[in-house]
């Protein structure tokens, strides 16, 4: 009902008061003394309080509430431990994430440099091929132009030679010249005229 420590304190105060009352008023009756000392009121209040505690099971309710609070504290402690574990996991992942990001950036730089080097090498190779092809094309066009020029010059020279021959040869010389040419041509082919 009433805790043992509180009851001892109450009894101690009551005894001190009782001793003080005996010294000052030795002629009081028990009834007068109880009325004057308020001990009766205090005992009555203690009995009513004890009855109420027992009737409404206040101590049981306190124990129940203490149990609930204890379980809530344990739950909170468990949640705290879980949160701390999650925090440590997040810190670990964050630390790993930083190193992963650094690795990704390093690999990206290396890949970019390798790709850049490869692109430059390919571009140099392609430009060398283009230059070589252009040089060959220019040489072919020069040869074709030279051949064309030679043909035109030869045709012009032949035309000029014909004119000069025609001017310098008479009709009989021309006829002889054509016949000689035809004879030589037929001999080259292996046939006779």
Q: pLDDT by residue (tens digit) across 123-136?
A: 889 888 999 998 99
The predicted structure's pLDDT at residue 18: 64
Q: pLDDT by residue (tens digit) across 132-148?
A: 998 999 999 999 989 88
Quote the CA–CA distance of 90 and 93 in Å, as a whole number.
5
Q: Is the model's pLDDT at 17 over the cut of 70?
A: no
In this prediction, what percent of the chain has a pLDDT beyond 90?
12
The predicted structure's pLDDT at residue 79: 92
Q: Is the model's pLDDT at 28 over the cut of 80?
A: no
The predicted structure's pLDDT at residue 1: 47
Selected residue with higher pLDDT from 163 and 33: 163
Report the 10 Å Cβ neighbour count for 190: 6
Q: Is the model's pLDDT at 3 over the cut of 70?
A: no
pLDDT (average), residues 135-162: 86
Selected residue with higher pLDDT from 72 and 42: 72
Radius of gyration of the chain (CA): 66
Give one word for 53, left, alpha or beta, with left for phi > 0 and alpha for psi -120 to 50. alpha
Is the pTM higher than 0.85? The answer reads no
């Amino acid at each position: 009902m009433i805790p043992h420590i509180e009851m001892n304190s109450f009894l101690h105060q009551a005894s001190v008061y009782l001793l003080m009352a005996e010294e000052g008023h030795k002629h009081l009756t028990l009834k007068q003394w109880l009325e004057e000392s308020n001990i009766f009121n205090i005992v009555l209040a203690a009995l009513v309080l004890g009855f109420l505690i027992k009737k409404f099971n206040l101590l049981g309710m306190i124990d129940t509430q203490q149990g609930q609070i204890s379980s809530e504290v344990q739950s909170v402690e468990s949640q705290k431990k879980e949160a701390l574990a999650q925090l440590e996991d997040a810190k670990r992942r964050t630390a790993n994430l930083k190193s992963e990001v650094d690795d990704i950036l390093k690999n990206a730089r290396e890949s970019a440099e390798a790709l850049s080097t490869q692109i430059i090498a390919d571009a140099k190779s392609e430009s060398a091929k283009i230059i070589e092809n252009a040089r060959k094309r220019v040489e072919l066009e020069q040869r074709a132009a030279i051949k064309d020029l030679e043909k035109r010059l030869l045709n012009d020279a032949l035309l000029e030679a014909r004119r000069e021959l025609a001017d310098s040869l008479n009709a009989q010389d021309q006829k002889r010249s054509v016949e000689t040419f035809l004879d030589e041509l037929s001999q080259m082919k292996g046939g006779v005229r």
